[in-house]
Structure 1
Amino acid sequence: MVLLTRGKDRALLARLRAEGIPAEEVALLEQVDLPGLFLLPERLMGADWVAVTSKEGARRLLLAWERAGRPPLKVAAVGEGTGEVLRVGGLPPAFLPPRATARDLAQAFPGAQRVLFVAGDLAGKDLEEGLRARGVEVERLAVYATRERALGPEEVALLEEAEVVALFSPSGARAYARWTARRPKAACMGPSTAREALGLGFPVVEAETPGLEGLCRAILKAWGDKENLPFSPG
């Protein structure tokens, strides 16, 4: 059985099942609002650009944008998924980097003087360090925190049964390892997640490209001799 661990990936779950692969989903983490969220509406007014690197950040940015009266904003986003959240909310991103990583966003960022980074508490520093190296002023505002969920017995049982686990973040890898001593094959989204999983003893297959399509291919590779068909996150 393949176990997805984010709790937000129904399209990927359906794709795996359509391929004949038994798949289940258990959310290991949850997000909670931080006080920075309530400061965000007024902070939007002074930013040259706003940057966001996650769907959770994008959802909270949209909420603050509504509260601020929908002012004109130039938003740079990492990844098509994050960009789609913004588009659906009426705030299409003005810029997406060629690769869905914070490092690539910093390197390809359009000319800017001041960037407001709408972040989670666990977001890395690649974006702000890369922008500051280019002389850009960056304000990081953490608007949500990621916490480990308390799992029920049935959820823990799924962790114990998994033959392949899909890991989306280093914190997800750590959460999985705390709930069980089992180390199934881990299909990892991104190098930082792969490094963390390796350090925790998982056999790792790292996604070769960012995003859900790359992760889907990594899952299929970890599962075994399956046909690698294109995946659309829908």
Structure 2
Amino acid sequence: MLTRMLCIVTLSSFISACDSEDLETANFGSSLYKNDYTLINATNSEIDFHMANTEIAGDERDVSSNKYYIETLASGDEPTTIRHEHNVGYKISFYVQEHSKASRHHKKQFKVKNDQDYHFIAWQEQDALRLSLMKNQTNNKPDFFAVRFLATESMTLMVNKQPLIMAKGEISLWRHVDDCNDDIKINDETLSICHTSYGNSYTFVIDKSGIKATINE
């Protein structure tokens, strides 16, 4: 933070005194370009999470570098939230890697919006790591559970006795259910969400065996 504060001088000295990463993210106390990211590990492995802003010219940084490491979550850990300051108008590289097996990894770039929080989700497709970025949203309705799903494989759910066809990696629209133990089914088996509460919104990372992670919106 001190480095960024020292950059507040004339434009010429600003450029010479600060490295490119300081220039791209320095906003001198403004919250405009800071978003919260909830990290979720929906895999069966311990996962390292990395994030890196692209450079001013839009060039990609090596997001796998330890410089851009932010957190490690074991399988089944509670989600954790971090705040990241992004540069204006450019993308962020998101990267997940198995903690004990660096060759197992996945990355994507996204252009994030200002003043919008996100979920940064690590999941797996059989043995391959995948990641998704989704907006933090709510769709609360009194006396109902507001639910949406991220499917890690292609599947069909029954929600309120209506089919919901999901492609792998797809995020569904919101649905509202009022019976936590009967209104959602996979392959005729109940998908219980009775660990949640009425009047709130939840995102579920799912596969055909059930819920891999619950995200409280």
TM-score scaled by length of structure 2: 0.23
Q: Name whichever structure is richer in strand by fraction.
A: 2
TM-score scaled by length of structure 1: 0.22
Q: Name whichever structure is richer in helix by fraction.
A: 1
